[in-house]
Amino acid sequence: MKKRSTFTFFFAVLGVFASPAAAQPMDTYGMTSRSVAMGGAVSADVEDISANYYNPAGLVRGDHMRIGIGWFGAFHQLDVDGLNSGVDPVHGLTFGLAIPATIDRNFRFAFGLGVHLNDDRLSRTRSLPQSRPRWEFYDNRPHRTYLAAHLAVELFEVIRIGGGISFLSYAANTLSVRGDLDIAMPDIGSHLQHEIRADLTTIRYPQIGVQVQPIPELSFGLVYRGGFALSNVLTAEVDATILSGGIAAPFPGYFYLFSESVNAFVPQQVSLAGSWSPTPQFTLNLEVTWVNWSSYISPVGTSDIRLDLDIPPELADSIFVPTIRGSRPIAANFQDRFVPRVGVEGMAYEDTSMEFRVRGGFFYEASPVPQQTGITNLVDTDRLAFSAGAGLRLTNLRPLIDGFISFDLHLQYALLPYRAMQKTSLVDPTGDYVAGGHIFAGGLSMEVGFR
């Protein structure tokens, strides 16, 4: 029976793994209850803390300084060939500020800050072999911490312009192992020391937005969000003396692995929106977003592997040295998409001290992922999302505060219709499969406004 080096086998398996790409959670689940309940179609009229994501120009739209906090959760029922894919639920906190100010009664400007923080992990990267189908946009994608800071100004009481920078981080990891490895008695005779180093590097990308409101009843919005790619770099090195339990003299062994792949990717986006309020009690919002998915970088990255074992002649027949090959990027061939959105909001009750509004929304996101006919298995289907919500605003709060307190909630259901993936090769190790499912989400928000 042939004996195999423990570290050779371990890193041979590691070398064929690739990190699934991901993005930021707001692209998938939205930010704050009012905006999510309206299907995300709010770029033309947003003025709460979610303007830090949807349109920074909206930070200067209102007269109140706003402080908001919220919680959301999303639960996935996604399967491949009827088997649950085990996509983790996502839940976390949102926090934001919108602080408008005026200079000389004419020049209005505002500062905004938005934060998204998962409440069970700061970040998550899970690596899977290419042969295993994985949900490309729901596995690692939501497990990110998001921070954005913006400035906005108002011109001629009609035009608002805002922009700023959003921040995310990526990691460069180094693993080093040194010592003696006994292939005859690995648990008893091996003495290894390891060192792990992880460096976080911040990446920044821009966001710019405009709101134009020619009359009080009509408003338009235009937003550009920059794209970015977060790399995941792993360097692993094993330098050991191989012991053979006295069968032969010790001999040197060396293994080196360098892997670089895209761990999070967000394509650049442009949104065009309109908001119409024929009466103060009703608002209709329409929006369409172009998403530059054709620039998507495949998560199957680059890896270089080196294995050196100076095996003595007396062990040449008993130790099998596998051939380990590196990998090179495989084009994803995603396609650009237009995402239409619609949202409505109506006043259900109003008096001198409170307002109660109901909301609804819908968007349709066609999958940019092509048929997985080759060796990759990046799973995705279309997404049809329906949302609903309500908001209560208390306005008569003096002498406690000169402003308001609002409470909002939302529920969202997303249908991912089943889609069949058919392989070109009849001997493909994965074979054909069918994928689809559902996503259930909801959340609560509270916002306090001060004059």
User: ∠ CA(240), CA(15), CA(25), 5° rounding?
Assistant: 125
- Is residue 277 assigned to a domain? yes
The distance of Cα 306 from the centroid of its chain, to the nearest Å, equals 33
pLDDT band with cut points at 50, 70 and 90 for residue 21: very low
- Is residue 246 assigned to a domain? yes
Mean pLDDT of the chain: 83
pLDDT at 4: 43
| Domain carrying residue 14 | 6-450
- Is residue 410 assigned to a domain? yes
List residues bridging with 156 in a β-sheet: none
Where do we find the tokens 């293994």?
Answer: 255
pLDDT band with cut points at 50, 70 and 90 for residue 51: very high
DSSP 408-435: EEEEEEEEEEEEEE--SSTT-SS--EEE
Distance CA 23, CA 264 (A): 5
pLDDT band with cut points at 50, 70 and 90 for residue 284: very high
Residues for the chain: how many in total?
451
Summarize pLDDT for 119-167 with one digit per residue, the tens: 765 555 555 556 678 888 887 555 567 889 999 999 988 999 999 998 7
Where do we find the tokens 């369409």?
Answer: 288
- Is residue 388 assigned to a domain? yes
- Is residue 76 assigned to a domain? yes
- Is residue 183 assigned to a domain? yes
> Which residue, 67, 24, 15, is CA-closest to 265?
24
- Is residue 1 assigned to a domain? no
Is pLDDT of 397 > 90?
A: no
pLDDT at 173: 65
Across 183-299, the runs of DSSP E, i.e. the strands, are 191-215, 218-225, 228-243, 251-266, 269-279, 282-291
Phi, psi torsion values for 40, nearest 5 degrees: 75, 5
pLDDT at 309: 75
Average pLDDT for residues 77-99, to the nearest whole number? 91
Q: What is the CATH number of the domain that holds 185?
A: 2.40.160.60
DSSP state of 370: P
Percent over 70 (pLDDT), the chain? 78
The secondary element (H helix, E strand) that includes residue 442 is strand 433-450
Summarize pLDDT for 375-393 with one digit per residue, the tens: 888 899 999 999 999 999 9
The secondary element (H helix, E strand) that includes residue 126 is none
Q: Is 58:44 a contact under the CB 8 Å cutoff?
A: no
- Is residue 219 assigned to a domain? yes
Looking at the structure of the chain, the number of domains it has is: 1
Selection from 187-201, 324-338, 437-451 with the highest mean pLDDT: 437-451
pLDDT band with cut points at 50, 70 and 90 for residue 170: low
Q: Which residue has the higher pLDDT, 307 or 168?
A: 307
Q: Which residues have CB under 8 Å from 83's CB, separation 6+? A: none
Per DSSP, the three-state class of 194 is strand
Q: Is 111:59 a contact under the CB 8 Å cutoff?
A: yes
pTM of the model: 0.79
